[in-house]
Each structure stands twice: as structure tokens, then as C-alpha cells.
Amino acid sequence: MVNNLTATLRLGAEANQTRLDSYRDRQTLAGLANGGIGSVQTTEFSHWLAEGLLKYENTFGNDHSFSLLGGITFEEFLTRELDGSASNFLSDVTGTNNLQGGDGDANDDVASSKIKNQLNGFIGRATYDYQGKYLLTASFRIDGSSRFSEENKYAFFPSGSIGWRLSKESFLADVAAIDDLKLRVGYGELGNQGIDNFETRQTLIAGGNSVFGGSIVQGVVAARLPNPDLTWETTREVNVGLDFGVLGNRISGSIDFFNRVTVDQLFNRPLPSVVGFNSVRVNLGEVRNRGVDIGVKTVNIEKGDFRWTSFINGSFLSNEVTELPDFAEEIIQGNIGTFINQYTVITEGAPLRAFYGFEIDGMFQQGDDIASAATPFSVDDGYAAGMPRFVDQNGDGEINAEDRVVLGDPFPDFSFGFNNRLEYKNLSLEVFIQGVQGIESLDANVTESLYPTNSFRNSISRYYLDRWTPENPTNELPSGENANLYGGAFAINSLTVVDASFIRFRNITLGYNVPVQGWASSLGVYVAADNLITITDFESFDPDASAQGGQAGVVRSSYNSYPLARTFRLGVDVTF
Amino acid sequence: MKKYITLLFAVAMLSACNDFLEEEVFTEFDPAEFLQDESGIDALLVGAYSQVEITGFGGARDYFNILQEFPTDIAWETGGGLERLVVPIINFAWDPSLGFFNNQYNRYYSAIATANNVLLVADDVQGVDEASLNRARAEARFIRGLSYYILHNLFGPTPIIEIPAGASLDEIEAIGRETPRATEEEYRGYVEGDLVFAAETLEFGGLSSRANRGNALAVLTKFYLNNKQWTEAAATALQVIEEGGYALFNDYSTLFAVSGESNNEFIFRFECLVGSSQQNVYMPHAFPPNFPIASNWENFGAQFRTYTAFYETFDEDDVRRALFVSEYTPTTSGELTPLDRDADGNPLDNVRSFKFIPDPDAQGRFNGNDIPFIRLADILLVRAEALNELSGPNQESIDLINQVRERVSASVVSLGDFGSQEALRDFILAERGRELYTEGVRREDLIRHGSFIQQAIDRGKNAQPHQVLYPLPQAQLDNNPNLVQNPGYE
């Protein structure tokens, strides 16, 4: 009995230290005005993990094997920061190495912080295998987080799966073409504790200070509206999959159908600011992600010295908000640096954070009866030919907030990767193509072109060159005259929410293995190109970039994203 | 079932693990420990002041300059990233989604929430004497009354929000999502109640940047004035003038400079200090292009300009006129460049108000000039206006106006100059413009005198009668179905 028992203790730790020095010398405007501005920001991050596992495995007869596993985990995350800044230095030469050399005036600043959170989990798993044909797994996790209140610290997440290796059944054993065939059905729950510290309790933080009698006086303000009822966000996934290998494994791969329902999403719900806060963290609603993932590897040709293999993976995804509480039918959010805001919606039946605005079906032309058409501003206000014809969705003869519709969503309908490798003797060619289809983005470079903040900001020439004029009575682009009449909230429309689909030749590598003898075990030379071609209708730099970064829960938009570099590489690989 | 399993494990591991999962506070304050005594309450009160102080970009620039002066006969703007945002204000083409409205709305409701929190804490705290608690309550109600006064000025009556002690999150949300706008009558009573309580509880004197009897009465006076409650306005104005101990500063030309901050004329001010959170950012907007500035100053692309017609309403030797720059020599061309009229005599509408004389110790865009909210000259003119409204031209009104004019060497006026109540009313409005330009009261003054819309039409704007109120922000309407939009904006 004891022979079959394994005890494992795993300890891990990491520590990171970062330090950011920035010095604006007197060549910069701000540096000149302030006599040099130096700042140092340091962050120490540490994380440790302790995990104890006990595993029992046994086999009865030749057919039954099973295992049991139980364990407990502890984790702690600690971040400490220390920042300092100063200005008005005697000279720029000391940079950030002499912050005390600043003038010690009120603009000099120090800040420090310490924040810690902990996780504690219990895990259990049982597996059973009959002849390698029928496979059963049942497991659970109980996860605890310091971030939730006493009542909700722990949550239970079960999962289980059944596997059936059909290729081992007698009725398929004789089918020579099938090498492997396995059907899997699984159900699992996973938790997410993605909130900040203290969101379940009230704390006071140092507020913006006041000046009384010529001196700075420090005050405190309530940090947030706490929600003591916050609990773990749970994702429940049902998964049906098939693994296969046929024709001597020349074609192998897997296909997975999944239905992932996330309930109690941890979500910042906007609040009417009259209660003093703009949002509160809540567990809210239900979002469903349904889709298919396919991965297939094929050996297309294998003849003599020539070999051609392909790997293709594809994923179809549909995202939909399936349930929102009654009191929050519509949550409108979004803010981008170009003064465009409130452009996404969370509402039942639409994808999460879909783009929400006005549909434009053309431009008013000279001679149109604009006065009796539905327009955001009246003809008296200056609404004229060359301005957009907004769709009056509710047919009330007016264009207002009620006419907003979903203009697109930030999830691809279909994404794929397609890799081909051709080898002939020592020569190889590898081509990787990536594609994303059916995804939209709010392009702030387009809003800047249609609604310029001022003439110095980036604009796309087409919006000026091809604009509506009496000589160019287009339906595509407005005249640009008095753009305020169709701007403001109306700037979120079918011209500025654009298709961000693309197909990209991510990487092409041509390699040659030089035959060597003796002094090295292998020598390879290659030429490679990254991001060689991108096929897209998207007008800004990179259709794949989001101005808000890749964080979960943020809205998508494009704003002067750094263009992706096209790289050519020449390389030599030597192994001794 | 799941709950029980979880509970079972949780209980089993309680002793060992629950301690491990304790959430410790290091960089913030636990209210239970912090709010034990007077200093804790005072820190909370200071936090509330910091929310209502109208300084910096989102405060002073947006409220005083953009919302209160750009739709008037005094000032306008072009250039910088700001231009596109303020064009709707200048051209009377704003709509409920314009960001300024929601930003202002949020600001003052944050201040109200913080002030309300002080009131809740004051009712709950132990071991602090009642007199101190009452002072804290009075200051909190001043902050709240002031916030509602400003909201009323922009939007008309808005919802009155009070959150009872111990309210649950759902109850708080329901208050936010359901509270309708107060009626004009309820609203006036509420603001009056706060300011009267502050005035009766606090004494005259002390800092003009914190609540006292004088500035509570002054805000109340302005509230009465804008509501055309002339009798009340005249009475509280008189109380401020006679009992407040304020005096006109002898030198108008340095009243708004850092060197003039010791004045006893500012009744309520927002103190600014380089290096604090409270900054005066007006001047970088006022310097014309390539104006010769000190190396520690900054000049923005966004340029605040004064209409030539307004600039020309001053007497030649009026000291207040000297605070405008009507011509200058750019560092680039070296040639004297006019800002009032071009060589052919056409108005350039490009005069610059240098009222907040740049702080010699400014750091870039940040200047330390205090920002007056109400000062004695304003209150003197309020009483002159209220008395004229009550009984037509009278000697006291004339004397009050002359106090203001004599200080700046403008010609004195006499009762005989005004043949009618209307003539004096128009003169007072013009005088308020000359005295209070760049201080962000023009919009409310024009509205009270019924000339806000007509003047805009005369400037060629397509102004509509309903635009005397700004619209409630779209974001607020989206969040509260019981909010009724101001007429004309539905």
C-alpha cells in the first residue's frame, strides 16, 4: 500500500525588482521650465508558493488502474514601491543619481506603497482507466482568496471528464486506416478572483490635498464604494472533443466543441456619480462563449528527399451576453484619448463590449429634402448636403441616443493559423500565415481624420482628398464642413467603427543545413522575414493592436498603435 | 450541496488558513481606527474641500473660463487640443454628451458625497466635543451648499442625494438610479438651509479659503441674486459688507498676482500653491504665440482670447484695462503686433487678459495665484443691483458702484446719469463685466439680465432660448430613468 503512495512538497519563489529612471533635462520644454525633472520609481515584487500533494496509484489485475490525489496550496504576492522625484537641479549632469540635489521645493515628491494578497487552495483528483479504453477523471478545487470578505473567501470548483478510445474497440481494431480515435467529454468549473485588494471593504486614502494659509494640508477621502458580497467569478465549460490519427498518422489532430458560460463576472458597473463614485465592482450577468477549435496536422507529401507538412488550426467563436440583471439593461462605457467616449455597450443578446453608435447609410446630396429628413441637427443649425445620412432606427423622425445600434464587436468570428513546411534534402522552407476575420475596432485615427481635434494631429489623407464636395457627390465620406453637427456622440458611427480583419504572413523562413563533419555536429543557415505582408482594409498601423492593451475587461480601440516592425533576419545556427 | 462542501472544508481549515487569508491594510487607512478623534474628522473634511476646490484644468479652466465665459461677450478660444472641445460651447452647439457637463456633474457630486460622509461620521463618532462636531458639520454643509449652488448655476435643480447611515450597496445604488430632480422650491430651500446653518454656526474671520460666516453669507447672497430674490440678496450682501470686515484692496493691478494674496478683499478663494494639488493654470492659455516668457513659464497652443468689443468698453485710464495685453512683440518676428484691431481697424478679437499675473515661481504650467470665487467688489455690485431692482436708481447703489470704480481710477457716476431703472441695470451689468472678467461669472450675469441668448445671436451664433441652462449629462440620464432632461434638449 505504502509503495503506491507518493508525497510531494513543492516550494517555489520568485522575486523581481524593477527600477525606472527618468530625467528630463533642460533640452526639453518641461525640463527647461522646471530646471530638470528627475524621477526614480522602484518596485519590488515577490511571490512564493508552497504546495503539498499526496498521490496514491494502483492497478488491479491487468485492466483496472486508478489514482487518487489530494493537495493543499498556499501562495502570497507582495508588491512594494518606492518612488521619488525632484526638480530644479544645479546641473543636468547628475541625472537621477542625485535627487537630493533638487531644490527641495514642493514639487519634489516621494511615494511608497505596500500591497499584499494571498491564495489558499485545496485540490483533489481521482482517475480510473479500464484497459486504456475507458478513462474517467473527477476532480475538484476549493480556492480561497484574501480579497473576498470572510463569507466568500472560498469557492468550490468541480470538474470531470470521460474518455473513450474507440480505436481500441474490437469493431475498429481491424480498420487499418485508423491509428487513433478518442472521444472526450468534459465538464469543468474554474474561478477567477480578478479584483483589486480591499474592494469588499471601505478604506480611506490620502485625497488630493488642499492649501490653507499658504501650506499644504493633507486630507483623506473614502477610497470606493465597497461591495462586501463580491464572490468568485465562475466559468463553466462543457467540452466535447475528438482526437484522431489516420492513414498511418499522416493526418492527425483534434476537434473540440466548447460552450463556456461565465457567470458572476467581476465587473466594474458604472454608477450614477451622484452617490459619489462612478462605478462599483459587482458580480454581474452571464456571458457565453461558444465555438469550435480545430487543429490538424498533415503530412501531404513524403517522397524520397521531399517532405511537405502542414499544420492548420482554426477557431470559430461567438460571444454573447446572455443575461444581465433587470436594473442594468445597458451599460455604456469607453474612453479614448481623442475625446471620444461612451462607445461600447453591454446588453443582452450582443457580444460583450460591442461597439455602440449610429449607422450611416450615405451622405445627403444637393437637392435632397434635408429639412424633412431625420438629422441630428436641423437645417437651421446648418445641417447641409455633404453631411451624413444617419439611419433613424426607431423611425421617430429624429436622430438621437435612441437610434444607436451595435456596430461591431471586438471578438473575431474566425481566427486561424496556417503553417507549411517544405523540405528537400538539406533545404527547408517554412511559411506561417495568421488570419483574423470578423472583428471590429474603433479607429481613433479615423475619428481624428473625420473630426480633427486640431490640424496638428495625425490624419489620414483619404478623408480629406475623397471628401464630399459638390463636384464629388460621394456617399462614402462627409464634406468635413462643420463636423460638430455630426460629431460629439455621433462620432461613434459606421465610418469610425471599422473592420479590423487581416491576414498576415507572420513568418517565412528559408533554411539550409550545411553538411559538416567532425568540427561541429550541425550547421544551419537561414533567411527569415517576419510580418512580411499584411492584407487588410484597416487604415491605421496595426489591425491587431488595441490602444487599451491586452488586459481583460477593457474595451478595444486603435489609437496610434506602434506599427509592427517588418523584420528580415539572416542567421547561422551551429551546434558543437 | 456545493455550498456545504465548501463550508465543510472552510470550517476544517479555518484555524490554519483563514488567518492566512486575512486582508491586511498597509498603504490605506482603516476607517474604524482613523476616524476616532477630531483630527480624523478634520482630515476627512480637508478631503471634502479638495473635491470642491475649483482649481487646475478640470476645475478652474473648465468651469470659470470655458463654461462661464466662452459663451459670453468676453472671451473665446482657438488652438490646441482644446479647440474642438470648446467650439460647441463658443458656438452654442453643445449637446448632452459633451464631456464638460459630466465632468462638472461628477466633481460636485463627489464633493457632496464626501461632505455627506463627514456628516454621517460626525453623528457617529465618540469622544469629540459637540462644539467641534458642529463646526465640522457647518463646514461640511458649506461644501455641500456650495456644490449644489454651482450645479444649479449650470444645470438648474439636480437630484438631492442623501445616503442614510448603514445603507446597503443596493440601497445606495437605488438612490443613485432613482432619485429624481428636486423641484426648484425644494432645491432652493435645501441650499439655503445648508448655507444658513454654516453662517449661523461659524464666525466671521479666519481663512478665506475655509468656510466661515462671511463666505457662507456671500455664497448665499450670490444664490439669492441669481434666483432674483432681490430682498434677500440685498440683506445678506449688507451683512457681508457691514459685518464681514472685508475691504477693497487698494491696487487692483496686483490683486490677482501672488503678491496680492494678502488682500482682505477675497471673501472666498481657492488657494493655489505650486507643488500642491491646487494650481492656477490660466496663464499658459493667455500668453499669445511667441510671447517673451520667463524660462520657468509655459505657453500652450490653446489660446484664450478676449473680444475687441469688450476690451473697448473700458475708460482709457481704467486700471482694469491695463491688465489686458492689446499688442506685443513676438520673440520670433521682433515686430510690434496688435491684438485688438488690425491696420485697417478691423477687430481681431485677440486681446489677452493677463489678470492672473504670472507667478514668478511658476513651474511650467502651474502657477500659484489664488483663485477668487467671491470677492467684496462683487458683493458691492450685488447690493447695488438688488437695490435697483427693488426700488430703481438710488443713491446707495450709485455709492456702491463708485466705490468699485474709484479704486481703479474710472470716472465716477452720479444718480443723474440714470434716467430709469433699466439704464442703471444695464450699467451695472456692464460694470460687472469690467470688474469681474476672467473670474467666471459672466454667463450667470448675462442670464440673470436676460441678455445671454440675444448677445450670442448678435455675435452670429444660432443660440436658442432653452440654452440658458446646460443639459443634464447624457451619462446621468443613461443611469437614472427618473431624470428629466432640461427643456429643449430632450
Residues A300-318, mean pLDDT to the nearest whole number: 92
Residue-averaged pLDDT of chain A: 88
Q: For residue B4, what pLDDT is reported? A: 58
Contact: B363, A341; criterion CB under 8 Å: no
Nearest to A208 among B50, B297, B474 (CB): B50
A-interface mutation test, from B39, B98, B181, B276, most A Cβ less than 10 A away:
B276
Nearest to B169 among A150, A156, A227 (CB): A227
**Cell numbers describing residue B152:** 444649479
Residue A550 clears pLDDT 70, i.e. is over it: no
- Shortest distance, CA B449 to any CA of chain A (angstroms): 25
Q: DSSP code of A401?
A: G
On chain A, the residues whose CB falls within 8 A of the CB of B280 are none
Task: Return d(Cα B7, Cα B13) in angstroms, integer.
Answer: 10
Q: Name residues 129-148 of chain A within 8 A of B (Cβ).
A: 140, 142, 144-147
The verdict on A275 touching B (C-beta cutoff 8 Å) is: yes
Task: Return d(Cα B442, Cα B425) in angstroms, integer.
Answer: 15
CB neighbour burial string for A140-169, b if at least 16 within 10 angstroms, e if fewer: bbbbbbbbbbeebbbbbbbbebebebbbee
CA-based nearest residue to A408, from A262, A557, A540: A557
Residue A552 clears pLDDT 50, i.e. is over it: no
Is residue B371 within 8 Å of residue B64, measured between CB atoms?
A: yes
Contact: A117, B112; criterion CB under 8 Å: no
Is residue B75 within 8 Å of residue B306, measured between CB atoms?
A: yes
CA-based nearest residue to B153, from B216, B104, B99: B104
**Cell numbers describing residue B179:** 432619485
- Cα–Cα–Cα angle for A137, A143, A147, rounded to 5 degrees: 160
Q: Tell me the pairing of strands A64-87 and A37-60.
A: antiparallel
Q: For residue A195, what pLDDT is reported? A: 87
CA-based nearest residue to A438, from A458, A407, A408: A408
- Shortest distance, CA A141 to any CA of chain B (angstroms): 10
Is residue B233 within 8 Å of residue B226, measured between CB atoms?
A: no
Nearest to A342 among B97, B117, B177 (CB): B97
Residues of chain B with pLDDT under 50: 15
Distances (CA, A) of B334 to A299, A554, B290, B331: 77, 51, 10, 6
Q: For residue B10, what pLDDT is reported? A: 53
Q: For residue A265, what pLDDT is reported? A: 85
For chains A and B, what is the number of CB pairs under 8 angstroms?
268
On chain B, the residues whose CB falls within 8 A of the CB of A398 are none
On chain B, the residues whose CB falls within 8 A of the CB of A457 are 81
Closest CA in chain A for residue B173: A271
- Shortest distance, CA A94 to any CA of chain B (angstroms): 20
Contact: A207, B50; criterion CB under 8 Å: yes
Closest CA in chain A for residue B112: A276
Residue A79 clears pLDDT 50, i.e. is over it: yes
Contact: A207, B364; criterion CB under 8 Å: no
Q: pTM here?
A: 0.79
Residue pLDDT, tens place only, B257-306: 999 999 999 999 999 998 888 999 999 999 999 999 998 899 998 999 99
The verdict on A247 touching B (C-beta cutoff 8 Å) is: no
On chain A, the residues whose CB falls within 8 A of the CB of B297 are 33
DSSP calls for B331-347: TTT-S-EESSB-TT--B
Distances (CA, A) of B256 to A341, B353, B371: 36, 12, 8
A411 pLDDT band, cuts 50/70/90, is confident
On chain A, the residues whose CB falls within 8 A of the CB of B276 are 106, 209-211, 216
Task: Return d(Cα B107, Cα B111) in angstroms, integer.
Answer: 6
Percent of chain A residues past pLDDT 90, beyond the cut: 53
**Cell numbers describing residue A97:** 543619481
ipTM of the complex: 0.91
What is the identity of the amino acid at B137? Answer: R
Contact: B93, A485; criterion CB under 8 Å: yes
Q: Which contacts (CB < 8 Å, 24+ apart) does range A562-569 have?
A: A564/A531, A564/A534, A565/A530, A565/A531, A566/A529, A566/A530, A566/A531, A566/A532, A567/A528, A567/A529, A567/A530, A567/A531, A568/A527, A568/A528, A568/A529, A568/A530, A569/A526, A569/A527, A569/A528, A569/A529, A569/A530
Is residue B115 within 8 Å of residue B147, measured between CB atoms?
A: yes
Residues A423-439, mean pLDDT to the nearest whole number: 93
Contact: A207, B47; criterion CB under 8 Å: yes
Q: Tell me the pairing of strands B75-78 and A233-246.
A: unpaired
Closest CA in chain B for residue A37: B363
Residue A407 clears pLDDT 60, i.e. is over it: yes
Contact: B169, A35; criterion CB under 8 Å: no
Q: Name residues 506-545 of chain A within 8 A of B (Cβ).
A: none
Q: DSSP code of A393?
A: T
The verdict on A9 touching B (C-beta cutoff 8 Å) is: no
Is residue B266 within 8 Å of residue B370, measured between CB atoms?
A: yes
Cross-strand bridge partners of residue A323: A286
| DSSP E strand stretches across A177-305 | 178-192, 204-206, 210-212, 215-217, 220-222, 233-246, 251-270, 279-303
A551 pLDDT band, cuts 50/70/90, is very low
Contact: A275, B27; criterion CB under 8 Å: no
- Shortest distance, CA A339 to any CA of chain B (angstroms): 8
Q: DSSP code of A324?
A: -
Percent of chain A residues past pLDDT 70, beyond the cut: 96
Task: Return d(Cα A244, Cα B47) in angstroms, integer.
Answer: 65
Nearest to A33 among B23, B24, B363 (CB): B363
A-interface mutation test, from B3, B4, B46, most A Cβ less than 10 A away:
B46
Contact: B46, A278; criterion CB under 8 Å: no
On chain A, the residues whose CB falls within 8 A of the CB of B97 are 342, 488-489
Task: Return d(Cα A100, Cα A90) in angstroms, integer.
Answer: 11
Task: Return d(Cα B208, Cα B218) in angstroms, integer.
Answer: 11
Residue A40 clears pLDDT 50, i.e. is over it: yes
Of A120-134, A338-352, B91-105, the poorest mean pLDDT is in A338-352
Q: For residue B13, what pLDDT is reported? A: 56
Residue A123's CB: how many other CB atoms inside 10 A? 17
Task: Return d(Cα A371, Cα A376) in angstroms, integer.
Answer: 11
Closest CA in chain A for residue B89: A484
Residues A152-179, mean pLDDT to the nearest whole number: 89
Contact: A219, B53; criterion CB under 8 Å: no
Task: Return d(Cα A505, Cα B464) in angstroms, integer.
Answer: 57
Q: For residue B272, what pLDDT is reported? A: 96
